[in-house]
Amino acid sequence: EHVLRNLRSVSVQCDLSPPEADLVVEPDVLICPITRNMFRDPVVVVDSGHTYERSAVVSHFQCNGTKDPLTGLALRSARVMTIWTVRQIVQDWLDKHPDVAP
């Protein structure tokens, strides 16, 4: 009896890069358009309605005058108000993703 044997080559690939599904990306709505970092102290510019990180927008006003950072339009005032809801949403997101440091 004649026995045929098939030899197969086996190739093993090793990809050490992290899988895409495991990457955690902060939602864009929680990112300051000036710093491109997650909000820690989000404020709304009262005259424009745009949201920024407090320190970034205050610095912008000091350097550029009372102009909205996104539109460049002159504002009547540099008044900002804390957005407590956004701050809480950021904290909730961070609580759900403890391995992420903003």
* Mean pLDDT, the chain, whole residue set: 84
Question: Mean pLDDT, to the nearest integer, of 19-38?
Answer: 83
**More confident position, 21 or 30:** 30
Q: How far apart are CA 98 and CA 79, in angstroms?
A: 33
Q: Give 25's pLDDT tier (boundaries 50, 70, 90).
A: confident
Distance CA 6, CA 60 (A): 71
If phi > 0 it is left, if psi is from -120 to 50 it is alpha, else beta; for residue 24 that is beta
Q: Kindly indicate the confidence band of residue 22, based on its pLDDT and cuts at 50, 70 and 90.
A: low
Choice between 29 and 23, residue whose per-residue pLDDT is larger: 29
